[in-house]
Amino acid sequence: MACTLSFSMVYLACAAERRVVAFGDVHGDLAATRGALRLAGAIDANDRWVGDRLIVVQTGDQLDRGNDEREILELFEQLRLQAAAAGGAFHALNGNHELMNVRGDLRYVTEEGFADFADATAYDPTDSLLTSFEPHQRGRVAAFAPGSSYARLLAERVVILQLEDNVFVHGGVLPKHVTYGIDRLNREAQDWVRGETGRPEIMVGPESPQWTRLYSAEPDSAACETLRQVLDQLEARRMVVGHTIQRGGITSACGGLVWRIDVGMAEHYGGRVEVLEILGDSLRVLAGGQ
C-alpha cells in the first residue's frame, strides 16, 4: 500500500504499514507511564526513544490524581522530538484533565501537584486571574492558564488524531464533531489553549470530544450505529478511546469498531499496565505487571 501523508491537523500516516501502539490515562504516575512505554518497545531503561519508526499514541489524561505530572509532560516532549528524529512518532493527546487545568479547574490536583508547579513560570501574584485561588495554587494556575508556559506545550497537541484507519480521541468523536470539522475543532482548541481566543463552544459540556462516554461506557445498538456513521464519514475502521476505566483490561465494543484503552493503570486506581498494538487490521493487547 502506498503511503499518503497529509499535513493537516488530522494527521495521516502509514499506519497500515507501521506498528502503532496506544495507551490510555496515566494520571500523574510516572512508573505506569514508563511501564506502558517499555511494553510498547518505545523507550530504554534511560527513557530514551528506541522505537525507531514506531508510532505511539497516548490518548490524554496525563494530569491530575498523581504526583509525577511535570516529569510526564517533560518526558513526553522529549519523546516527541526523539521519535521524530528517528523516523517514528509520539503523539500525546489532550484529554479532559489537561483542558480542565487550562481553565483553572483544580478539583483533582494533589498537594504535590500544586508544589511541583509553584515555580514553573513567573507570575504576578496580584493578577486578577490568580487572586481567587489559594496562594499555594497560584503557580499551577499561572503555568496552565491559556498562553502560559505549560499551556503552550499542550497547545502543540490535538484533541482528535486520525492515523489512516484509526481515530484516536480521549472521549469520542460524535457526528456533530465531524460536521464541525476535525481540523477546525483541533485548530480552535489549540488557539484557545495558546490564549489567542476563548474556549470554542464545541469543546464545552458532556458531548465534547474530551468528555463524551457514548462509546467508552457500555454502548447500546444506537450508540454503535452512531459510531459506525462517524467512522464511515471519516473513512476509518475503528476508534480508540480512553476516559472510562475498563476494570478487566482493554476491551472492544460494537463489533470491534471501538477499543477502550483506559485500564486505570495509574497508582490512584491500581490497575495494571496494558497497551494496544495495531498492525494494519491486526490488533493485540500487550499486558505487563505493576
**Is pLDDT above 70 for 16?**
no
Residue 50 domain flag: yes
pTM of the predicted model as reported, rounded to 2 decimal places: 0.93
Reported as a single tens digit per residue, the pLDDT across 110-166 is: 999 999 999 999 999 889 989 999 999 999 999 999 999 999 999 999 999 999 999
Query: Which residue of the set 97, 170, 243, 268 is catalytic?
Result: 97
Residue 138 domain flag: no
Residue 127 domain flag: no
Reported as a single tens digit per residue, the pLDDT across 19-54 is: 999 999 999 999 999 999 999 999 999 999 999 999
* Strands of the sheet with 251-253, listed across from one edge: 160-163, 166-169, 238-241, 258-260, 251-253
**Residue 274 forms beta bridges with which residues?**
287
- What CA–CA distance (Å, rounded) separates 120 from 164? 37
Residue 11 domain flag: no
Tell me what pLDDT residue 289 has: 59
Percent of the residues in the chain that have a pLDDT greater than 90, as a whole number: 92
Contacts of 96 (CB under 8 A, 6+ apart): 60, 61, 170, 171, 210, 211, 243
Tell me what the mean pLDDT of segment 270-288 comes to.
96
Tell me what the mean pLDDT of segment 265-285 comes to.
97
Tell me what pLDDT residue 290 has: 44
**Residue 276 forms beta bridges with which residues?**
22, 285
Residue 217 domain flag: yes
- Burial class from Cβ neighbours inside 10 Å (0-12, 13-18, 19+) for residue 200 reads middle
**What average pLDDT does the structure give for the chain?**
94
Tell me what pLDDT residue 17 has: 72
Domain range for 212 is 20-109+147-287
Helix (H) or strand (E) holding 92: strand 89-92
- What CA–CA distance (Å, rounded) separates 64 from 130? 19
136 as an active site residue: the answer is: no
Residue 156 domain flag: yes
3-state DSSP helix/strand/coil % of the chain, to nearest 5? 35, 15, 50
CATH code of 264's domain: 3.60.21.10
Count how many domains the chain has.
Answer: 1
Residue 140 domain flag: no
Residue 132 domain flag: no
* Residue 30: CB atoms within 10 Å: 19
Tell me what pLDDT residue 270 has: 95
Reported as a single tens digit per residue, the pLDDT across 86-102 is: 999 999 999 999 999 99
